[in-house]
Amino acid sequence: MQLGMIGLGKMGGNMARRLRRAGMEIVGFNQDTDATEALAAEEGLVAASSAEDLVARLDSPRLVWLMLPAGDVTENYVQQMADLLDEGDVLIDGANSYFKDSMRRAEVLAERGIRFVDAGVSGGVWGLDNGYAMMVGGADDAFAAVQPIIEALAPARDRGWVHTGPAGSGHYVKMIHNGIEYGMMQAFAEGFALMKGREDFNLDLGDIAESWRHGSVVRSWLLDLSAEVLADDADLSGIEPFVADSGEGRWTALEGIEQGIPTPVMSLALMARFATQGQQDYSAKLLAMMRNAFGGHAVKAN
């Protein structure tokens, strides 16, 4: 089976490796030609010099997978592919794109007879060895065309992937997945912070995390990763208390507002990330000044 892949960074590169090891022919293009050349030498990937060259090297009906940052970069390539691909070809977007963008793109491409698949991908840097969790949206015929690829990327052919429904549903389910992830991560972080703060018990956080990995109802891959981190450095020395957000958490919070469904855990976890980014600094300063103004309480100066 043949697949064109545009975007060979950490995720895309490892996905290409996994597919090559499953015996698939991968034609790859990346703006950083070093990444493409390295994969060509390492895995036998066919290196394309441009998006146009990639499309020209593929047999019809073509399958092209975009593994690029969500937003303008993906949008630009979708528009480019709309001009390069033919009727019956399939374009797959594996980025964390907003599901409404995916629905719009599917409609625009359908006018040209190009089929669209939105693939939510989870697994990070561990996916090469463990496989990727795949949440895939698209019409039945489009999904059938890419199903062997999905099965090769997943942990096993019969598990770890799901055809979620029409175009847009894959990225929608991945969005909710990431919102849940925000809440789980925040709960673990707060719990371990409380235990670290109880200095009179002199708790070994690494040992506690390791014990929870076996038999506990909170055991999970996130706990496995946390246990490894805490075993190495429970004080997390040298780490800045800054947590980025990719956009998925914001979209999940907005979805809760649009549906009128309360999502306090996921929404507050997003707010906690904003606080680490300095977005609470001004309001905290104003709170300190209000407290000083009505009660004469001291203000801590810089």
List active site positions: 174, 181
Burial pattern 101-129, b for ≥16 Cβ within 10 A else e, equals bbbbbbeebeeeebbbbbbbbebeeebbe
| Dihedral of alpha carbons 39, 43, 46, 51, sign | negative
- Give residues with Cβ within 8 angstroms of 21, minimum separation 6: 43
Spatial separation of the C-alpha atoms in residues 169 and 102, rounded to whole Å:
9
Spatial separation of the C-alpha atoms in residues 249 and 74, rounded to whole Å:
19
Spatial separation of the C-alpha atoms in residues 65 and 82, rounded to whole Å:
13
CB atoms within 10 A of CB 257: 11
Whose structure tokens read 């801590």?
Answer: 300
Q: Are 88 and 144 in contact (CB under 8 A)?
A: no
Spatial separation of the C-alpha atoms in residues 13 and 31, rounded to whole Å:
13
The one-letter code for the residue type at 281 is D
Spatial separation of the C-alpha atoms in residues 65 and 95, rounded to whole Å:
10
Question: Residue 160 is encoded by which pair of tokens?
Answer: 């770890």
